[in-house]
């Protein structure tokens, strides 16, 4: 919800635009198609958005005490069912898991993850099952993981050296372990070094990843009003998304170009995860064709998380 705080000055303008659209395209009322759970009173246009507050989980708890363990809300144009019971959660996520398998198509994920074609945000279906199988059988199989044991051993030795260095202040173990995880992921996935003067420092990844996490970690006005996506341009959200996406896309183009270099293929026989994905994409070996954008979306899944420099 942090991103929404930046948009409150534009709320009156957005409200007028939504109101105008509502009256122009207003449809005749229809009978409800579903037997919906109880719902708190809602306002026109915004629905129950005003009841979320700064801490939605606390607001949901208070509403559950009044309306029961399952209730219905309209968050802008998004119909939402809130469950706050372990029994009902088990029924939804286990008994009826296929009905709830997909994730909402967030605006940020649509722009940053190549129209939600990664494994995390892709809608449940044949494509999701296929890329999941690729990740399990080709990228994360026991044999593949074991083949990179030497990388983990070398990075553990590097971590020990970092911890042994004299520091004028207390060592942040979360930071150190984060760097270790990033170094392992980058060497296994891209055969590149993203710390200690590597690409991580040289290309300004820290600032880029911080922007990426901020955009993906919050909710925008467009997530609540999908038909009003043009509002993203008014708030500046779209320009931030497009700029961040282009930066990442340029990085992935460089990574792919390095892996497709014929000289590199002759010099190095051991394949990393990008090599495996490119082989599947080029050879068409699979249930459905993968585009280069699909490969980039899967690469982004392995991209390092934001970790501050150890110094």
pLDDT score for 229: 76
Secondary structure of 29-89 as H, E, C letters: CCCCCCCCCCCCCCECCCECHHHCCCCHHHHHHHHHHHHCCEEEEEECCEEEEEECCHHHH
Q: Which burial class, exposed, middle or buried, applies to 311 when counting CB atoms under 10 A from its CB (0-12, 13-18, 19+)?
A: exposed
How many angstroms separate the Cα of 56 from the Cα of each of 2, 49, 82, 222? 12, 10, 11, 18
Asked if residues 255 and 261 have their Cβ atoms less than 8 Å apart, the reply is no
Asked if residues 47 and 76 have their Cβ atoms less than 8 Å apart, the reply is yes
- Radius of gyration (C-alpha) of the chain in whole angstroms: 23
**Quick one: DSSP state of residue 95?**
I
Query: Residue 123: phi, psi to the nearest 5?
Result: -65, 150
How many whole angstroms separate alpha carbon 229 and alpha carbon 160?
A: 49
Asked if residues 229 and 107 have their Cβ atoms less than 8 Å apart, the reply is yes
How many whole angstroms separate alpha carbon 278 and alpha carbon 42?
A: 50
Asked if residues 307 and 174 have their Cβ atoms less than 8 Å apart, the reply is no
pLDDT score for 311: 42
The number of CA neighbours under 13 Å toward the Cβ of 217 is 9
**Pick from 135, 129, 77: nearest CA to 98:** 129
Residues, the chain: 311
How many whole angstroms separate alpha carbon 43 and alpha carbon 50?
A: 8
Sign of CA dihedral 151, 142, 262, 295: negative
pLDDT score for 146: 87
How many whole angstroms separate alpha carbon 252 and alpha carbon 265?
A: 18
What is the set of domains in the chain, with CATH numbers?
2-26+35-100 (no CATH), 126-301 (1.10.630.10)
How many whole angstroms separate alpha carbon 311 and alpha carbon 87?
A: 48
Residue 91 CB contacts under 8 Å (≥ 6 apart), including other chains: none
Each residue's pLDDT tens digit in the chain (311 positions)?
A: 444 445 455 555 555 555 555 555 555 555 556 788 999 999 988 899 889 888 888 999 999 999 999 999 999 888 999 999 999 999 988 898 888 888 888 888 899 999 999 888 899 889 999 988 888 888 788 888 888 898 899 999 988 988 887 766 677 888 888 888 888 888 888 777 766 555 555 566 667 777 888 888 777 777 888 887 777 888 888 899 999 999 889 888 988 888 888 776 555 557 788 888 888 888 876 678 889 999 999 888 766 654 444 44
pLDDT score for 103: 81
The distance of Cα 97 from the centroid of its chain, to the nearest Å, equals 21
């Amino acid at each position: 919800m942090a991103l929404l705080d930046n948009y409150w000055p534009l709320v009156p303008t957005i409200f007028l635009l939504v109101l105008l659209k509502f009256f122009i395209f207003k449809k005749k009322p229809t009978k409800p198609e579903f037997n919906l759970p109880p719902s708190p009173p809602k306002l026109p246009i915004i629905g129950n958005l005003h009841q979320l507050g700064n801490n939605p989980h606390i607001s949901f708890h208070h509403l559950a005490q009044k309306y029961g363990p399952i209730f219905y809300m309209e968050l802008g144009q998004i119909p939402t069912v809130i469950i706050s019971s372990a029994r009902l959660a088990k029924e939804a996520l286990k008994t009826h898991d296929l009905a709830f398998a997909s994730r909402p198509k967030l605006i940020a994920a649509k722009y940053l993850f190549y129209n939600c074609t990664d494994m995390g945000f892709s809608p449940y279906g044949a494509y999701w099952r296929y890329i999941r199988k690729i990740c399990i059988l080709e990228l994360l199989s026991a044999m593949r993981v074991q083949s990179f044991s030497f990388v983990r051993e070398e990075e553990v030795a590097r971590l020990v050296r970092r911890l042994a260095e004299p520091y004028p202040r207390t060592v942040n173990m979360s930071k150190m372990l984060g760097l270790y995880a990033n170094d392992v992921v980058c060497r296994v996935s891209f055969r590149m070094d993203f710390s200690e003067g590597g690409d991580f420092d040289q290309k300004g990844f820290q600032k880029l990843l911080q922007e990426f996490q901020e955009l993906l970690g919050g909710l925008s006005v467009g997530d609540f009003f999908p038909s009003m996506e043009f509002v993203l341009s008014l708030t500046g959200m779209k320009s931030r998304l497009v700029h961040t996406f282009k930066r990442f896309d340029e990085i992935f183009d460089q990574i792919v170009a390095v892996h497709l270099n014929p000289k590199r293929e002759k010099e190095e026989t051991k394949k990393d995860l990008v090599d495996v994905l490119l082989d599947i994409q080029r050879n068409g070996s699979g249930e459905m064709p993968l585009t280069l954008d699909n490969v980039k979306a899967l690469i982004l899944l392995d991209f390092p998380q934001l970790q501050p420099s150890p110094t």
